[in-house]
């Protein structure tokens, strides 16, 4: 029986590559649950995750630091899935006051919280010998410290409510692998992995699971603002399927970690990667 989930074509020169697979329909895996998704505006992994969660039956609160993009994202999702299914709150994850307000408002307005997806992160490319303190600090503050602030706020919310929950952090394979010009980003993502493992041990006692995804390459307009097309093409060519991931393919892995199908996983980092070993 033919499997069309990864349709393969043969390129000149004999290199097999795969077209993106068909989009997977929802199966109600998150029905009735309330989720916060940070950095969810636009067409990146956060936006794809918001759409997938809605398709799986969740109510979502999307946050972002960009007012216009957030409003546009909320309007588009509400138009498709219903006004009551989507809320939006501005939140800059480098600001502890805004992070605390996001989680308090979510608990108050929706009667509690079930899932948190920490997607906010900041990249860039700079050789280490030329990198400034400001460049290093900015990437670490958004990507690692921002995740810390959101994990802490989520755990406080779960503990105060006395209810179990799930946190999924967005890391990167660069937390394990080396790439020139990415010392700040790689250090931050490795930190997210370590934070995930340690926080999971602490949170297990009150029924909260914490895991992370580590994508290799998901190409979208946000990424193209901080990396050249030539570099992204080069990285895509190294992937086993000869293509980058679709953002929704990363979102599928996040849905798995947020759902009951991963009920015995905590403190794990799931590589969502098509790279050659």
Catalytic site positions: 185
Written in H, E and C, the secondary structure of the chain is: CCCCCCCEEECCCCCEEECCCCCCCCCCCCCCCEEEECCCCCCCHHHHHHHHHHHCCCEEEEEECCHHHHHHHHHHHHHHHCHHHEEEEECCCCCHHHHHHHHHHHHHHHCCCCEEEECCCCCCCCCHHHCCHHHHHHHHHHHHHHHHHHHHHHHHHHHHHCCCEEEEEECCHHHCCCCCCCHHHHHHHHHHHHHHHHHHHHHHHHCEEEEEEEECCECCHHHHCCCCHHHHHHHHHCECCCCCECHHHHHHHHHHHHCHHHCCCCCCEEEECCECC
> 6: which 2 tokens?
């990864």
Closest alpha carbon to 175 in 96, 271, 276, 61: 271
Residue 187 region, left (φ>0) first, then alpha (ψ -120 to 50), else beta? alpha
Instruction: Count how many Cα atoms sit within 13 Å of the Cα of residue 134 in the half-sphere of its side chain.
Output: 0
In sequence order, the 6+-apart residues with CB closer than 8 A to the CB of 122 are: 138, 139, 142, 143, 185
């Amino acid at each position: 029986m033919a499997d069309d989930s990864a349709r393969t074509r043969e390129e000149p020169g004999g290199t097999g590559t795969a077209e993106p697979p068909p989009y997977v329909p929802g199966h109600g895996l998150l029905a009735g649950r309330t989720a916060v998704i940070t950095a969810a505006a636009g067409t990146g992994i956060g936006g794809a995750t918001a759409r997938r969660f809605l398709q799986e039956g969740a109510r979502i609160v999307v946050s972002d630091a960009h007012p216009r993009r957030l409003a546009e994202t909320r309007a588009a999702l509400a138009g498709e899935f219903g006004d009551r299914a989507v809320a939006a709150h501005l939140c800059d994850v480098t600001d502890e006051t805004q992070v605390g307000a996001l989680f308090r408002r979510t608990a108050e307005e929706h009667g509690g919280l079930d899932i948190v997806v920490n997607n906010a992160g900041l990249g860039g490319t700079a050789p280490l010998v030329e990198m400034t303190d400001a460049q290093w600090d900015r990437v670490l503050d958004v990507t690692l410290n921002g995740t810390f602030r959101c994990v802490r706020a989520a755990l406080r919310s779960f503990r105060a409510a006395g209810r179990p929950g799930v946190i999924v952090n967005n890391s990167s394979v660069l937390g394990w692998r080396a790439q020139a010009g990415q010392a700040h980003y790689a250090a931050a993502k490795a930190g997210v992995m370590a934070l995930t493992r340690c926080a999971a041990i602490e949170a297990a006692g009150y029924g909260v699971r914490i895991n992370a995804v580590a994508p290799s390459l998901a190409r979208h307009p946000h990424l193209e603002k901080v990396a050249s097309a030539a570099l992204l093409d080069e990285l895509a060519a190294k992937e086993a399927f000869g293509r980058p991931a679709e953002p929704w393919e990363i979102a599928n892995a996040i849905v798995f970690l947020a759902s009951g199908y991963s009920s015995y996983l905590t403190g794990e980092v799931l590589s969502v990667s098509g790279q050659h070993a």
